[in-house]
Amino acid sequence: MSESQKALSALNLLLDNCRIGLTALVDGSLPDNDQLNASFSTIRTDFGSILSLLYSSATKVALALKPAPSPQYKAALVPLQDLSNNTAALVHSVRLMRQSQGATLVLEYEGLSKNILVAIQAFANGLSQSNLGSHEETFIAVGKLHELIDNAKKPNVLSSDNRAAVRRRWVQDYESLVDGWEELQDIDKTSDMEDGDEDEFDDGWDELGSKQTFAPSELERIEKVRALVKVANLLHTRVVKDLLSSNTHKQDNVTLDNLATYSAQLLSASDELISSMYTPQQPTAISLHLSSYLGALKAIQHALNPKNEDLEQQLSALSVSNASLSKKTKWLKTCFDLIDKAGAQVSETLVAVKESS
């Protein structure tokens, strides 16, 4: 077998390992029981080291197989083997995390690993399909892999525990909640353009009904939805600040993972509720979206206070310091009470429509 054939065979092996690895990242499988004793700190350190090895090996392969002056097939064999071994090691690290770590943290590392394997797959595919001969495409592909790894190795990019992973999700969701709030603030604003300007500038929105006049009842409903969304967003940011920013080690992964899920549900429901405020408003649709929105908030409340346990006890389980516990408990209770009242006021605007129809 020639050196070029050996290199192609090594590329095919790498592609097989990528496919197997991607399948393993999806199927949720666990390693053997005798391999489950490593601490997350050790696994995380190994994960970072594997990323560095993948970066180095991919660079060596790209340089060895560049077409000018001629590909160095023999020089590519060892780094290609290293790439294959370390793609498997990367997946194994994630599988080790699954046994003892929270789902949100594992999902973060799974997502990065999938992106890296896909990038390696594209890199190897480009080399094999071009018969090891496309210099530009090879370096574009390896550049994408380098970018992924460089970003992942920056400080504080990969979460150090499940609390940090959940907090990251909540922060990301909050940014989108703020975007929705800004949309809600502008939803009933009319254009200030003069008629002459409108004739010169036709943006096409008239055809979609965005410049239709709101009925007084619709404007009233928008104001009540604003009041609800405002306090709900405030609750969201305070959960991040007060409950998810603790540096203590005590954690309840089930509660934390539930909070990550419910935050995503709240964001989705918020988008739907805000979109339903455009005229002409459809009370039936609004009622459905309002129910989903309030349901997500109730789920968050339940995650903080399951089975109607004392809220102070549950916050303690989330490692909130005793010094500020009473104040935070009182604030959260007040916030949820305000949400209940604001939600009821929005519901009343919908009941009035049903009674008049």
* Cis previous bond, 69, omega within 30: yes
| pLDDT tier, 27 (very low <50, low <70, confident <90, very high otherwise) | confident
Other CB atoms closer than 10 Å to residue 55's CB: what's the count?
A: 20
State the burial class of residue 77 (Cβ atoms within 10 Å of its Cβ: 0-12, 13-18, 19+).
middle
The structural domains of the chain, ordered by start, are 3-152 (1.20.1420.10), 162-189+198-356 (1.20.1410.10)
Other CB atoms closer than 10 Å to residue 130's CB: what's the count?
A: 14
Report the pLDDT averaged over residues 278-303: 97
pTM of the complete model = 0.83
| Cα–Cα distance for residue pair 39/355, rounded to 1 Å | 61
What pLDDT does 134 receive?
Answer: 58
Query: What digits encode the pLDDT tens for the residues 73-88?
Result: 999 999 999 999 999 9
- Residue 213 gets which letter from DSSP? P
What pLDDT does 203 receive?
Answer: 55
Query: What digits encode the pLDDT tens for the residues 223-238?
Result: 999 999 999 999 999 9
103 against 206, higher pLDDT: 103
141 against 50, higher pLDDT: 50
What pLDDT does 194 receive?
Answer: 38
| Cα–Cα distance for residue pair 179/24, rounded to 1 Å | 36
Residue 241 has pLDDT above 80, yes or no: yes
| pLDDT tier, 243 (very low <50, low <70, confident <90, very high otherwise) | confident
Q: Is there a contact between 43 and 51 (Cβ–Cβ < 8 Å)?
A: no
What single-letter amino acid sits at 96?
L
Please give the mean pLDDT across all residues of the chain.
Answer: 86
282 against 189, higher pLDDT: 282
Tokens of 349: 């605007």
| Cα–Cα distance for residue pair 265/176, rounded to 1 Å | 12
| Cα–Cα distance for residue pair 52/147, rounded to 1 Å | 12
Tokens of 222: 């928008």
Report the pLDDT averaged over residues 139-159: 94
What pLDDT does 35 receive?
Answer: 57
Other CB atoms closer than 10 Å to residue 278's CB: what's the count?
A: 18
What pLDDT does 193 receive?
Answer: 38
Percent pLDDT > 70 in the chain is 81
CA distances from 203 to 1, 134, 193, 280, 349 (A): 65, 45, 12, 20, 33
- For CA atoms 187, 169, 89, 140, the dihedral sign is positive
What single-letter amino acid sits at 324?
S
